Every structure is written in structure tokens, then in C-alpha cells.
Amino acid sequence: GAGVSQTPSNKVTEKGKYVELRCDPISGHTALYWYRQSLGQGPEFLIYFQGTGAADDSGLPNDRFFAVRPEGSVSTLKIQRTERGDSAVYLCASSFQAGVGDEQFFGPGTRLTVL
Amino acid sequence: KNEVEQSPQNLTAQEGEFITINCSYSVGISALHWLQQHPGGGIVSLFMLSSGKKKHGRLIATINIQEKHSSLHITASHPRDSAVYICAVKKWETSGSRLTFGEGTQLTVNP
């Protein structure tokens, strides 16, 4: 009965490096969401998956950001050539399906710091 | 101007006080969520509303669709209620269940 898990919980990297952030949704949840939360702000939408496909990636800020969910379960958010402005908490959420009445369950987040 | 605005940004109360946090939105929505975020980042869903009022324990959430406004009330507040409370909406025109968030209200309840 595990909830949404995210690894690592903290990641410190240097400007220009590549990072991968992992999200394990609740088993059986078909929809998976990535959000980014900067300090003192509310979360902002990045991308959402329905199954294996990215149904909406309109929130990805630029082409340095990419996410995959190859088997419809675990998802990886990938950031190339990291910049200091990428520092934030990256939140993952999952829901049984992507619909109006569906509750999202959030993971604890990965705090990314780019030095 | 943000599509979802919360007030106040910060709120300090004494234990036992009745607390109200407000959320106004400027877009058409199909649902509104109230979320609680504790230090360390974990977010918990408190309520999901599309009309009327919901109650869970000491928490009450109301929504007025015509006025595009929602309130979260906490009765008999307690220090363990200290957290950031976030209002989020599901916009009609967006896909799936993606949410648009307010900036949150930092609540501190002193003993």
C-alpha cells in the first residue's frame, strides 16, 4: 500500500550537468504528473502521462527538459545542461485515471539544487 | 495576474482560533482542490470540490461557482495545523487532471 515515491529526495549538482529524477506512482494509477515548485511559490505543471504516452507536455520550460514513462509505471524526468534557475522541488503525482473527479496523490518531492 | 489567487499569504493564529483562507480564481473550472503541504514538501489532498460545501473533522471547504471563490475554514485550530495550504483548480480547457495552483498560504498556529 505504498504511496507515490520519488528518488532521490535531494540532489545537488553543478551547472551544466545532467540529472535524472525518478517517480514511482501508486500501483494501478494510469495518470502521472510532474510539477515544479520554486521557493515560496505554488507548484507549476510540467508534463502529464496517460499510460506510456505524454498526453500534455506544454509545461516543460524548454528542450533541456524531457520525461519518459516507458512501461506506464515508473517515470523519469531528465534535465540536460542544468542551470541555476532549475533549482526547485520537483513533485510527482499520480491518479487512477486522468479525469475531472480523480484525486491526485503526491510524492514527497525531489529537491534539486544547481550550484 | 495569477489565475488562482489566495489570501492571506501568511496567517498567524493562536490555538483555538477559527481560521479562514480564501481562494479566488479567474478561469472556468471543473473542480477545485485544497491541499496541505508540510515542511519537507509532502502534499496531502484535503478536499476536492465542484459545488457547495464539504466537511472533514475540523476542516470545512466551501465554493461559490458564480463568484469564483472558495474558502477553507479550520475550527478550533491547533499547532499541528501549521502548514502551507494551497488552492488548486482543474481548468475546463486543460487536459487530464492537471492542476493550476495558487501560491499558498503559510499558516502558523501558536500554542
Give dist(CA B68, CA A107) in Å, integer: 29
Q: What is the pLDDT of residues A91-105, one digit of tens each?
A: 999 998 766 567 889
What is the pLDDT at residue A99? 66
Report the DSSP beta bridge partners of residue A6: A23
Mean pLDDT over all residues of chain A?
A: 93
pLDDT at B107 over 90: yes
Tell me which chain A residue has its CA closest to the CA of residue B40. Answer: A108
By three-state DSSP, how is residue A59 classified? Answer: coil
Task: Count residue pairs from A and B with Cβ separation < 8 A.
Answer: 77
Tell me which chain B residue has its CA closest to the CA of residue A98. Answer: B96
Rounded to the nearest 5 percent, the helix, strand and coil shares of chain B are 5, 60, 40
Give dist(CA B30, CA B49) in Å, integer: 9
Asked if the Cβ–Cβ distance from A45 to B41 is below 8 Å, we say no
Asked if the Cβ–Cβ distance from B4 to A50 is below 8 Å, we say no
Candidates B46, B90, B94, B97: best to mutate against A (most CBs of A within 10 A) is B97
What confidence category does residue A29 fall into, taking pLDDT thresholds of 50, 70 and 90? Answer: very high
Residues in A touching B45 (Cβ below 8 Å): 103-106
What is the pLDDT at residue B40? 74
What is the pLDDT at residue B11? 97
Cell matching residue B107: 499558516
pLDDT at B95 over 70: no
Asked if the Cβ–Cβ distance from A106 to B88 is below 8 Å, we say no
Residue B97 Cα, gap to closest chain A Cα (Å): 5
Q: In sequence order, what DSSP letters do the residues of B33-74 get, joined into one string? A: EEEEE-TTS-EEEEEEESSEEEEETTEEEEEETTTTEEEEEE
Q: What is the pLDDT of residues A56-85, one digit of tens each?
A: 999 999 999 999 999 999 999 999 999 999
Asked if the Cβ–Cβ distance from B99 to A45 is below 8 Å, we say yes
